Structure 1
Amino acid sequence: MNLQQARDALRSARRVAVLTGAGVSAESGIPTFRDAMSGHWSRFRPEDLASPEAYYRDPETVWQWYAGRYADVTRAQPNRAHTLLAQLEREKAEGFLLATQNVDGLHTRAGSGRLVELHGNLTTARCEACGAVAPLPSPGAFTPPPSCSACQGRMRPNIVWFGEFLPEDALAAATGAFQRADVALIIGTSGAVYPAAGLAFETLREGGTVIEVNPEETELTPYMTFSLRQVASGGLASLCP
């Protein structure tokens, strides 16, 4: 498959599923989780800040980390990749689903609505007692940890941590969309984190086309129908001229 054939396939597809990773948000200036562990935080391992064990051992430190990241993503703005995906959703309507591994909420701010967040969302918190999810106050007014308005219980970051399962409903929705997709787009992800990386194979098994957009080769590249060696915004612009 060449670029023109990839464009034609995407244009004619009735059902499109998309998986996005950190490469999409990188163009908005948001570092990956590991890249963000600089300065004061460089003395911590990821598992020290992003696991249930770390949280129950030291919830204050974990919340300080996530409050800082929340402030960072609030200042960031959606980039052209986000807006192009929102435009593609409008074109495909009910035949479209976007599954993201990103937790920054930028897809929603760009206008995406047919969206599942596989790894949670930094801008919300989840009650440890009743499971209610609520948006965080603005960073300037936020003093962690938040309390649940429903039961007054303590709330944790609404993020999927190391050792936790993805939300069942989000994963089921994504899996079904990739199984039904005529074309799947895999954008800005290394393909190393499962089960999200396995979504591409759901489309391939059903005979669909899978197009990768990434400036580097990934673990998924050998299996892709077509790969574009571009950053997310450039690749999407090439596919959606």
Structure 2
Amino acid sequence: MAGHDNDLAAITAVAGRLARAERLLVITGAGMSADSGLPTYRGVGGLYNDGGTDDGIPIEMALSGGMYAQRPALTWKYISQIEQACRGARPNAGHQVLARLEKGGRQVTIVTQNVDGFHGQAGSGDVIEMHGNLHQLRCPACNHREQVPDFADLAIPPVCPACDGMLRPRVVLFDEMLPDIAVARYEQALAQGPDMVMSIGTTAVFPYIAEPIRQAVREGIPTVDINPVASPLSRAVDHHLAMPAAAALTAIELALATSGLGETAT
């Protein structure tokens, strides 16, 4: 196994495998959007490093389905804080590289844990948003739906214009189940049999994220982990690029272009 591969040889090796891949499965987490300036809940620049909130409860409790059912205005308060901290951010170079890989002729399926919608904004067409999208709102009472660029003009909590109910963002809160449609699409992508699996910016703590990668390792399918911080997953894959997502993907794309490997899978 590669361990901490972040040199030119490793990048070239990854580019070589990518050049031969026709069906690429990409799994992305918070590190994918870090280069866009998005803060995490915790860690360097985290919004809730001490685990608490202004209301004296853990952020995971404030952003839980149970709390939303009991005190939706409180949950909306912290959803709004997170959106405001991310407002104005845009897809970064890494998102754009993935979109160009798809346009180059590969089947690129992106499974993301992020709710920022950046993959779609960058131009990727086959995106499975496992945890939803912060900018898509829905009224549980009448099923009214709308897309908003940000929450700047929203009352918090927002009122449904169709029935005066309360809108909620299409996101999976803590203690809620993953959406059936997203799960079904993910299972379909796995059943199609990717010939390369890439994990970007996630420690893959959830079994539904980690197991497909480990299965690919067992089956000899090329696997890559892009993450500045090593995780147990990093030690299992063929190549671990200990780099930020945008830098690693930009370097891989450059290696494809300059080594004669080309943009499309042939």
Provide TM-score, normalisation by structure 1.
Answer: 0.88
**Percent identity of the aligned residues?**
33
Verify: 1:190 aligned to 2:203, yes or no.
Answer: yes
Kept after mapping to 2: 8 A contact 1:51/1:163: yes
Within 5 A, what are the aligned runs for 1:197-208? 197-208=210-221
Aligned pair count?
240
Deviation at 1:205, TM superposition (A): 4.6
**Higher Rg of the two aligned structures:** 2
Q: Pick from 229, 237, 245: which aligns with 1:232? A: 245
**Alignment correspondent of 1:172:** 184
Q: More relative contact order in 1 or in 2 (CA 8 Å, sep 6+)?
A: 2
Any gaps of 5 or more consecutive residues in structure 1? none
Deviation at 1:118, TM superposition (A): 0.6
Moved more, 128-137 or 69-78: 128-137
Kept after mapping to 2: 8 A contact 1:78/1:109: yes
Within 5 A, what are the aligned runs for 1:140-179? 140-148=152-160, 152-179=164-191
Distance 1:218 1:133, change over 3 A: farther
Distance 1:177 1:203, change over 3 A: farther
Normalized per residue, the structure richer in helix is 1
Deviation at 1:23, TM superposition (A): 0.5
Verify: 1:215 aligned to 2:228, yes or no.
Answer: yes
Deviation at 1:134, TM superposition (A): 2.5
Verify: 1:52 aligned to 2:74, yes or no.
Answer: no
* CA deviation profile, 1:96-149 (whole Å, cap 9, x unmatched): 111111111122222222111111111122322355543236432111333445
Give the alignment's Cα RMSD to 1 decimal.
Answer: 2.4
**Alignment correspondent of 2:98:** 85
Tell me which amino acid in the other structure corresponds to 2:205.
Answer: A
Verify: 1:136 aligned to 2:148, yes or no.
Answer: yes
Kept after mapping to 2: 8 A contact 1:178/1:200: no
| C-alpha separation in 2, matches of 1:157 and 1:11 | 38
3-state SS of the aligned residue for 1:154? coil
Any gaps of 5 or more consecutive residues in structure 2? 3-9, 255-266
Deviation at 1:150, TM superposition (A): 5.7
Moved more, 123-132 or 32-41: 32-41
* CA deviation profile, 1:157-216 (whole Å, cap 9, x unmatched): 221112212112212322332451111110000111332333323433543211110111
Within 5 A, what are the aligned runs for 1:10-29? 10-29=18-37
Distance 1:197 1:36, change over 3 A: farther
Kept after mapping to 1: 8 A contact 2:109/2:126: yes
Provide TM-score, normalisation by structure 2.
Answer: 0.81
